[in-house]
Structures are given as structure tokens and as C-alpha cells.
Amino acid sequence: MIKSTAKHVFIVATLITMCFLPLTIQAQSSVWKVSKGNDHIFIGGTVHILPASEFPLPKEFDEAYKKSDSIVLETKLPDASDADFQMKMMQQMAYGNGETIGDFISAKTKQKLSQHIASLGVNLTMFEHFKPGFLLTMLALLEAQHAQLSGEGVDAFYSKLANKDQKSIAYLESVEFQMNMIATMGIGDEERFIKSNLEQMKDFKTLFLGLLKAWRAGDEKQLKTLAITPMEDDPKTLKKLLTDRNKNWIPHIEAMFAGNGKSSNKEFVLVGVAHLAGNESVLALLKAKGYRVEKI
């Protein structure tokens, strides 16, 4: 099972730090047009695990894709058949010297973790050697499978479509960057990190369905409530997972505009929808730089 999840490992981390609320659907979606002068690009918020029932995607995604010459994703999805990558990933995600997650959390928290994983039909011994960021990522995948909500995400869908249509694909981050991000998440703070995320996962299905509703609605206020507010109690993870990366992406996005010496090709940037909510989102940072941002 671990080998089959490689291409998802770097794109589900935001699922483990969100809360859940009932939402009201609006007749909009999570796609924005960002303009400067006469030039523009499109930015779409993605969900990285998407059940088949959510297809077809909202029409705004298809419209932006058809009007774009290329797509830009967070990172290249790893090939699950790449044995060398699999080995490198497992080595980086695991503790060394025989250590396990139980060496860094209390006996009570370990028991809760073991019970939660057992409720999904898996024994903790399968995952106890993994570091907290990877362990919780795997747990999120198990939860999605258990709730029958797992499936190909928006990123994977458009990556395949772009290859089929011979549209170019660029990336905002390297696979190595995302691998290091997950490997270091929660290190030195395992007890709080595990306890917090177990609490968030008490009703994963409700959480995930709420996220899907917020994403389809393109409701920035609700997305902030879902994706950002719960993380404010963990500023270190919020900074590593979202705000630092948002800031790092801005120069790459600005370089897509023709005035910066690039071609007049139109790009469709696709990033996790949590990156497009809140006061330090990609959209907020672009607005602060004078770009026009409008939902399509």
C-alpha cells in the first residue's frame, strides 16, 4: 500500500490540519483571473484527493484550462514505479537508529494513535517508524479510503490532460522541497502535533465533505475558517505549510506576465485551495502588489 501512495504523499498535507463546518453552496468556484495591464493568468484552487463523484469539475476550471497555453502545478507528481525514488522517500520519512514515533509521544497519545489507526483496519506497527508529517499524511490517505472518498485529485487530472493536449507543464517547487517539508513537519513537537491532528480527524468524512463544499463554492471566508483558523494555534506548521510557500511562489507567478520578459502565453496555475484563503494567501499577496484579482 505504501508504494502505491507515492504520487499523493506530497499533496495531501493540508488535509491533516483542517477543521470542519457545514457550508452553503454558492454559484461560483475556486478559479480566479489575475491581471496586470493587458496581460493575465488564471489561478485555480485544487483539492488533491477527489472522489469520482466530484467529476466533472466546475465549468470555470475547464474554461480557464481551455484559455491557457500551459499549466503550473505545485510540484511534479512522483512516479509510483520509480523504485529509487521510493527508497529515497522511505529513508527520509523514517526515523533512524531504530526509533519510533512512540519514543517521542506519551504512552496515552500512542494508545490513542494506535486505536485510531486500528479503527481503519491497520496496525500501528506498519507506520510507527515514520516521522510525524509522513505518518499523518498516510493516515489522511487511509481515512479517505475508509470513507470511500479517495480518488484522483485536480492536479493529477490536469497533469494528464495537459500531457494529452501537449500543453507544457511547469512547477513551483521541486519534489525534494516537498519531501523535506513533510519529513520535517512536527519534528521536535511530536506530542502536540499528533494529539492535535488526531482531534481534527475524529470525523474525517464530515471534514472532507465540508472542504469539498467550500472548494466548489469558492467561498474564501469559509475556506479561511476551514483551512487557516485551526492552524493559527500551530504557527510553526502554518508558516512552513502555507505562508512561507505562498511568499516563495509570488516571484514565479510575477514572472509569468509578459512585461517581465516572458512570452504572452497564458498560464493556469493550480495550487491547493488553502493557499488561496486568508490575509497571507497567494491572492492577497498579489492584490497587495497591485494585481487585479477577480473570480471567474
pLDDT in tens, 34-63: 999 999 999 999 998 888 889 999 999 999
What global pTM score does this model have? Answer: 0.86
pLDDT band at 25 (very low <50, low <70, confident <90, very high): very low
pLDDT at 2: 42
Q: How do the domains of the chain map onto residue ranges?
A: 3-295
Q: Quick one: cell of 185? A: 513537519
With a CB cutoff of 8 Å and minimum separation 6, the contacts of 205 are 143, 147, 149
Nearest to 75 by CA among 162, 161, 179: 179
User: What separation in angstroms does the CA of 120 have from each of 151, 152, 195, 215?
Assistant: 18, 21, 17, 26
Q: Quick one: cell of 57? A: 469539475
Length of the chain (residues): 296
In the three-class reduction of DSSP (H, G, I as helix; E, B as strand; rest coil), residue 72 is classed as strand
What is the rounded radius of gyration, in angstroms, for the C-alpha atoms of the chain?
19
Read off the pLDDT of residues 83-132 as tens digits, 9 standing for 90 and up: 888 888 899 999 999 999 999 999 999 999 999 999 999 999 999 999 99
For residues 208 and 211, give the distance between their C-alpha atoms in angstroms, rounded to a whole number.
5
For residues 231 and 238, give the distance between their C-alpha atoms in angstroms, rounded to a whole number.
6
Is residue 295 pLDDT above 70, yes or no?
Answer: yes
With a CB cutoff of 8 Å and minimum separation 6, the contacts of 257 are 36, 39, 41
For residues 43 and 20, give the distance between their C-alpha atoms in angstroms, rounded to a whole number.
24
pLDDT at 259: 67
Is residue 3 pLDDT above 80, yes or no?
Answer: no
pLDDT at 9: 39
pLDDT at 11: 35
pLDDT at 280: 94
| Residue 264 CB neighbours (<10 A) | 9
Is residue 233 pLDDT above 50, yes or no?
Answer: yes
Q: Residue ranges of the alpha helices (H) in the chain?
A: 59-66, 83-93, 107-118, 132-146, 154-165, 175-184, 190-200, 204-217, 220-223, 235-238, 244-254, 282-288
pLDDT at 154: 94
Region 212-227: mean pLDDT is: 85
Is residue 291 pLDDT above 80, yes or no?
Answer: yes
Region 198-226: mean pLDDT is: 85
